[in-house]
Amino acid sequence: MKYELLQTLLPMLEEYERAYPKQQHLQHFAVWLARQTATEEQISHKSNQDSETEAAAIQTRILFLSRYARAYAKKALEHSPLGSIDEYAYLELVAKTGGMTKSDLIYRNRHEKPTGMEIIRRLQAAGFIEQTDDPDDKRSKQLHLTEAGRQVLDAHAAPMSQVTSLLSGNLNGAEKLLLLQILDKLESFHQLLQAKMKGGNFTVFERPEQE
């Protein structure tokens, strides 16, 4: 045997181990390999019109998934004092971190400042979060979960966990992992793009560089 396939595979295995030194799982490698071996022909034969159509389809699917998530969350929170999935997400993040600034909380949820401030005001008015001085920096304020906030969070943890599970639908383990890798790549791209826009170095009318 010449083991030609093995000789082709070994450099890719080496590349995978460099990229993911702490993963080293066969299933993870298989998903990564499937992405890496997508042929140039599968991409290059498509016209610019096809690419525009694909981009529009991706946008539509992402919007639909966001709407599905909100619909499921609305059902899960229908008897809750919380008004939206955003309010739940803010409470959950404050609980996980043990306390954070308003600006950090808003950024971590990828909201514009006015939207984020309105969500925080509603949660404060309801008595679910409170603002205290940062013990390490008196100029800074920290948001913390109140006992009432913890109770409402705990009361809806199970149904919101079901929403999380439901959103990934009928994807199997490998498909979830592949989707997560793709979404992580998109998230990294848009984080950089947002930073450029805030720095005045980019507008949405320019075409961003593609990797």
CATH of the domain at 109: 1.10.10.10
Helical segments of the chain, H only = 4-19, 26-36, 40-44, 48-76, 85-97, 102-108, 113-125, 147-155, 157-167, 173-198
pLDDT of residue 39: 46
Question: Would residue 150 count as lying in a domain?
Answer: yes
pLDDT over threshold 90, residue 151: yes
Please name which of 136, 129, 134 lies closest in space to residue 95, comparing C-alpha atoms: 129
36-43 long-range contacts (CB < 8 A, ≥24 apart) are 36/12, 37/12
C-beta of residue 87 within 8 angstroms of C-beta of residue 123: yes
pLDDT of residue 48: 60
Q: How confident is the model at residue 146 (pLDDT cuts 50, 70, 90)?
A: very high
Question: Would residue 21 count as lying in a domain?
Answer: no
Question: Would residue 38 count as lying in a domain?
Answer: no
pLDDT over threshold 80, residue 155: yes
Question: Would residue 108 count as lying in a domain?
Answer: yes
Question: Would residue 56 count as lying in a domain?
Answer: no
Average pLDDT over residues 114-138: 92
pLDDT over threshold 50, residue 41: no
In terms of residue numbers, what domain contains 132?
67-165
Question: Would residue 178 count as lying in a domain?
Answer: no
Question: Would residue 132 count as lying in a domain?
Answer: yes
Q: Domains in the chain: how many in total?
A: 1
Question: Would residue 174 count as lying in a domain?
Answer: no
pLDDT of residue 53: 86
